[in-house]
Amino acid sequence: MIKIKLTKPDEVKIIESETGLSLLDILRKRDYEIYAPCGGKGTCGKCKVRIRNEGDVLACRYYPSHDIEVILPGKQEAQILIHQTQYLEDLPFKANKSANLTSEPFGAAIDIGTTTVVIYFLNLNNGQIETISYFLNPQSIYGSDIISRINYCQEQKNGLAELQRLIIEAVNERIDNFKEYKNIDSQNIEKIVIAGNTTMLHIFLGVDPVPIAIAPFKPAFTDKQVRKGHITGLKINNHADIITLPCISAFVGADIVAGLAALKVPQKNYLFIDIGTNGEIALVRDNKIFTAATAAGPAFEGANISYGMGAVTGAISSFSDPLNYYVIGNTEPEGVCGSGITDIVAYMLKNEIIDETGFLKEPFIIYPPDKIIVNQRDIREIQLAKSAIYSGIKILIKIAGLSFKDIEALYLAGGFGNYINIDSAIQIGLLPFELKEKIYPVGNSACIGALQYLKSDEFEAKINDVIKKSVYIELSDIGEFTDEFAMNMNFSRNLF
Ligand code: FES
């Protein structure tokens, strides 16, 4: 056994560990949050920690064999979107009261995102929102995208149970806080409605997600699931219904379904896009919804980028020039998140630091002396991600028999969609120039959809309507997609 001293700004702790484990595994076992987008494969370089007298090491590659002191960063605060509901439904409270199990019933609407989780607690007597909780998905220590999480379930004997435990415990912590705040007990939590991508819902329910990632990409379920309170380990009424909303396919999940159902918009032909780790796209045309997912990768979540990081304290989240940028938490910059890198690439294009092909002569220094840089590989990652999304949009428009001029609006869901500068997104070719005046961020539409489901018995019809109208287009089956993808890798300077 060796001793490991863990020093954080607000805590010092000494733990014991056997040898033969990576430092990342040792820390994960004790629920320390270490940013590890590649899931511990040694490829992302993000899990750096400082060992006193030894310097910086990658936690996933470092196997302590003697007593050490590890300097850990403080708890990161996330930039999580909760207040933006302008384009979303706010239905009158209309829940079936006869179903109440206690005289003081409460419910929770949850959006389990790959990166962030948001919970609305609702009073089921009067429909009032009591409180909103949000936090980073603790499963991120096993990788930032769904494929890393699925790999973990596949490769580790207890992988699924471990990922499920992390999310259940994190939700229970917020439920406990809410119970204390309202002075109620578990019996009063009577209904839970959950939106999220297909993988997150599988893991939450403890259902093997591995088939999602293997051809023919058939998840164990896509339809609505209902469980009773005691099944999942949530600290709620044993007879409470836990409902996960329906998904469309392996990669177009209940987050998109709930978001589409929650949109309150006048247009007939519109796009609805969630640029997360997975680039989900829906094109609504009259009575049909064409959906697709692009393998955009997690570049816009900060992973795969040399100095990339999530939208948390220390991330440059917007950038005008090297003297004018905003850092989340107003601290010294430690890296760049998705909205920041979008601005930076637009700046580099505009100032001819990169050319149309993305060629970069030398690394671009964002924060001197050379602490934070953008290199050629980063530019390629952004090109791959932006081309995947843009090409997906073009193909869906074509399949729907429309052209850009027929599209009346483009609604951007999720945190990234809300925080990116739309001009920068257009300039780098992530979003279509043709829709410049018609792009609207809609906020966390997935959670608002789950909330409407909890609030009104009538919302289920809207969810079912979305499912009925939706068709899933597998982009990799469309030959033209590959051509589009190759064509859209370049940047266009005409947009400045
Ligand atoms: S390099 Fe260690 S988690 Fe990616």
Q: What is the DSSP string of 333-388?
A: --EE-HHHHHHHHHHHHHTTSB-TT--BSSPEEEETTTTEEE-HHHHHHHHHHHHH
Report the nearest atom of ligand 1 relative to the CA of 44.
Answer: 4
The pLDDT, as a whole number, for residue 55 is 85
Question: Distance (Å, rounded) from C-alpha 357 to C-alpha 343?
Answer: 18
Last residue of a domain, one of 256, 279, 307: 256
For residue 424, being part of any structural domain is answered with no
Cis-peptide into 441, omega within 30 deg: no
Question: Distance (Å, rounded) from C-alpha 368 to C-alpha 98?
Answer: 63
- Please give the distance, rounded to the nearest whole angstrom, from the Cα atom of residue 24 to the centre of ligand 1: 9
- Please give the distance, rounded to the nearest whole angstrom, from the Cα atom of residue 28 to the centre of ligand 1: 13
| DSSP sequence for 315-338 | EEEEEEETTEEEEGGGS---EE-H
Looking at the structure, tell me whether residues 25 and 157 fall in a common domain: no
For residue 251, being part of any structural domain is answered with yes
Looking at the structure, tell me whether residues 117 and 156 fall in a common domain: yes
Looking at the structure, tell me whether residues 197 and 63 fall in a common domain: no
- For residues 300 and 319, is the Cβ–Cβ distance under 8 A? no
Looking at the structure, tell me whether residues 121 and 193 fall in a common domain: yes
- Please give the distance, rounded to the nearest whole angstrom, from the Cα atom of residue 358 to the centre of ligand 1: 26
CATH number for the domain including 183? 3.30.420.480
Last residue of a domain, one of 256, 286, 321: 256
Question: Would you state the torsion angle of the CA atoms of residues 184, 187, 191, 196, taken in this order, to the nearest 10 degrees?
Answer: 80
For residue 495, being part of any structural domain is answered with no
Report the nearest atom of ligand 1 relative to the CA of 34.
Answer: 3
Report phi then psi at 441, rounded to 5. Answer: -75, 135
Cite the beta strand spans of 9-54 per DSSP E. 11-17, 48-51
Looking at the structure, tell me whether residues 151 and 231 fall in a common domain: yes
**Rama region for 383: left / alpha / beta (φ>0; ψ in -120 to 50; rest):** alpha
Token digits for 213?
A: 């990632």
Ligand 1 shell residues, CB under 6 Å: 36, 38, 40-47, 58, 60
- Please give the distance, rounded to the nearest whole angstrom, from the Cα atom of residue 59 to the centre of ligand 1: 7
- Please give the distance, rounded to the nearest whole angstrom, from the Cα atom of residue 281 to the centre of ligand 1: 29
Q: Residue 55: which residues within 8 A CB-CB, separation 6 or more?
A: none
Residue in this structure with the two tokens 């920041």, named with its chain if needed = 340
Report the nearest atom of ligand 1 relative to the CA of 39.
Answer: 3
Bridge partner list, 269:
285
Q: Considering only CA atoms, which of 467, 453, 459 is closest in space to residue 243?
A: 453
For residue 371, being part of any structural domain is answered with no
- For residues 257 and 284, is the Cβ–Cβ distance under 8 A? no
For residue 128, being part of any structural domain is answered with yes
Last residue of a domain, one of 256, 279, 299: 256
Looking at the structure, tell me whether residues 164 and 205 fall in a common domain: yes
Residue 292's CB is within 10 A of a number of other CB atoms, namely 26
23, 44, 140, 305: residue to mutate for ligand 1 pocket, most atoms within 8 A of CB: 44
Report the nearest atom of ligand 1 relative to the CA of 38.
Answer: 4
Looking at the structure, tell me whether residues 107 and 251 fall in a common domain: yes
| DSSP sequence for 403-447 | -GGG--EEEEEHHHHHHS-HHHHHHTTSS-GGGGGGEEEEE-HHH
- Please give the distance, rounded to the nearest whole angstrom, from the Cα atom of residue 366 to the centre of ligand 1: 23
For residue 172, being part of any structural domain is answered with yes
- Please give the distance, rounded to the nearest whole angstrom, from the Cα atom of residue 421 to the centre of ligand 1: 29
Report the nearest atom of ligand 1 relative to the CA of 59.
Answer: 2
- Please give the distance, rounded to the nearest whole angstrom, from the Cα atom of residue 35 to the centre of ligand 1: 8
Per-residue pLDDT of the chain (496 residues; tens, 9 = 90+): 899 999 887 788 899 999 999 999 999 888 787 888 888 888 888 888 889 988 889 999 999 999 999 988 766 666 666 666 778 888 888 877 666 778 899 999 999 999 889 999 999 999 999 999 999 899 999 998 899 999 999 999 999 999 999 999 999 999 999 999 999 999 999 999 999 999 999 999 999 999 999 989 999 999 999 999 878 899 999 999 999 999 999 999 999 999 999 999 888 999 999 987 778 999 999 889 999 999 777 788 777 899 998 888 889 999 999 889 999 888 889 899 999 999 999 999 999 999 999 999 999 998 876 689 999 999 999 999 999 999 999 999 999 999 999 999 999 998 787 888 999 999 999 999 999 999 999 989 999 999 999 999 999 999 999 999 999 999 989 989 999 999 999 998 666 6
- Please give the distance, rounded to the nearest whole angstrom, from the Cα atom of residue 37 to the centre of ligand 1: 7
Looking at the structure, tell me whether residues 66 and 121 fall in a common domain: no
The pLDDT, as a whole number, for residue 405 is 96
Looking at the structure, tell me whether residues 59 and 187 fall in a common domain: no
CATH number for the domain including 20? 3.10.20.30
Q: Residue 431: which residues within 8 A CB-CB, separation 6 or more?
A: 389, 390, 393, 410, 422, 425, 439
- Please give the distance, rounded to the nearest whole angstrom, from the Cα atom of residue 57 to the centre of ligand 1: 10
| DSSP sequence for 169-225 | HHHHHHHHHHHHHHT--GGGEEEEEEEE-HHHHHHHHT---GGGGSTTT--S--S-E
- Please give the distance, rounded to the nearest whole angstrom, from the Cα atom of residue 436 to the centre of ligand 1: 38
25, 33, 38: residue to mutate for ligand 1 pocket, most atoms within 8 A of CB: 38
Half-sphere exposure of 58 (CA within 13 A, CB side): 13
For residue 466, being part of any structural domain is answered with no
47, 145, 305: residue to mutate for ligand 1 pocket, most atoms within 8 A of CB: 47
Looking at the structure, tell me whether residues 112 and 160 fall in a common domain: yes
Looking at the structure, tell me whether residues 37 and 141 fall in a common domain: no
In the DSSP assignment, the letter for residue 94 is B
For residue 65, being part of any structural domain is answered with yes
Residue ranges making up the domain that contains 161: 97-256
Token digits for 289?
A: 């919804």
Looking at the structure, tell me whether residues 16 and 138 fall in a common domain: no
Question: Distance (Å, rounded) from C-alpha 370 to C-alpha 366?
Answer: 8
Q: Considering only CA atoms, which of 241, 129, 243, 111 is closest in space to residue 182?
A: 129
Report the nearest atom of ligand 1 relative to the CA of 143.
Answer: 3
Token digits for 236?
A: 């709620």
Question: How many domains are contained in the chain?
Answer: 2
Q: What is the CA radius of gyration of the chain?
A: 23
60, 304, 306: residue to mutate for ligand 1 pocket, most atoms within 8 A of CB: 60
Question: Distance (Å, rounded) from C-alpha 308 to C-alpha 326?
Answer: 15
27, 35, 41: residue to mutate for ligand 1 pocket, most atoms within 8 A of CB: 41
Report the nearest atom of ligand 1 relative to the CA of 61.
Answer: 2
